[in-house]
Amino acid sequence: MKSSTPVIIAVDGYSSCGKSTFAKRIANKLNYVYIDTGAMYRAVALYALQHGLADTRQIQNETLVKALDDITIRFRFNPTTGTQETWLNGTNVEEAIRGLEVSAIVSKISQISEVRRKMVGLQRSIGEKDNVVMDGRDIGTVVFPQARLKIFMTADVAIRAQRRYKELKTKGIEASFDDICNNIRMRDHEDETRSESPLQKASDAHVLDNSHMSVEQQMEWFENTWNNIENSNDN
């Protein structure tokens, strides 16, 4: 169905559910722009670590907020890998933002209201220009409540930890499976209980539990769901 305004597909859910992989596949299939909103918060977290504004114990909120205007985040397509990569102040940080040190503080960083406002503003500006598939925690509830399709992803904690462990090992990043499990449980709790845009399922979201699904099976689920929505819009 043709639309005069950009089409938004929102993919929300728990950490390490494979949201990015799933959202990228959807974007490739539909020829939409893919935006990893989690990477934006990870980039801010990395900046805070690099400049001594955060560690696992505390975040220097006020100092970080004052530095927000000095943070520039861009996504650039890498034709060699066929993927979009995250750039922080002119430096490719795609690998650096995926480490456990960033993972340990990113949820706390995302709870800072000024940080969220800046990131949400950036996300909305992107969605005003292009058809996008955007994944994160609050895309369907806060950023784009008018999204054409809202997907909420979940999976068993142990399965999520195993996927994360394999991902890090593939990238040559040393990690403990137990540490990853604990980090995921901590992230879930912080995401669900934070005062600023807590992780919630939109009332009209389609839930996808992919604990025992391959990426191909998830794409089959998406195609059926998307076709039903498009057909209903045509009627």
User: pLDDT tens-digit profile of 128-184?
Assistant: 888 999 998 889 999 999 999 999 999 999 999 999 898 888 878 888 999 999 989
What pLDDT shows up at residue 2?
46
Q: Is 167 exposed, middle or buried (0-12, 13-18, 19+ CB in 10 A)?
A: middle
Below-70 pLDDT ranges, the chain: 1-4, 234-235
Per-residue confidence (pLDDT) for residue 235, from 0 to 100:
59
Angle between the N-to-C axes of helices 100-110 and 37-50, in degrees from 0 to 180, rounded to the nearest 10: 110
Q: Which amino acid is at 141?
A: T
CATH fold of the domain at 8-230: Rossmann fold (3.40.50)
Beta strands in 32-157 (DSSP E): 33-36, 73-78, 83-88, 91-92, 132-136, 149-154
- For residue 91, list its beta bridge partners: 88
Place of tokens 């045509």: 234
- Beginning with the edge strand found earlier in the chain, give each strand of the sheet holding 132-136 in spatial order: 33-36, 132-136, 8-13, 149-154, 206-209
pLDDT (0 to 100) of residue 3: 53
Tokens at 228, concatenated: 């039903």
d(C-alpha 65, C-alpha 102), whole Å: 18
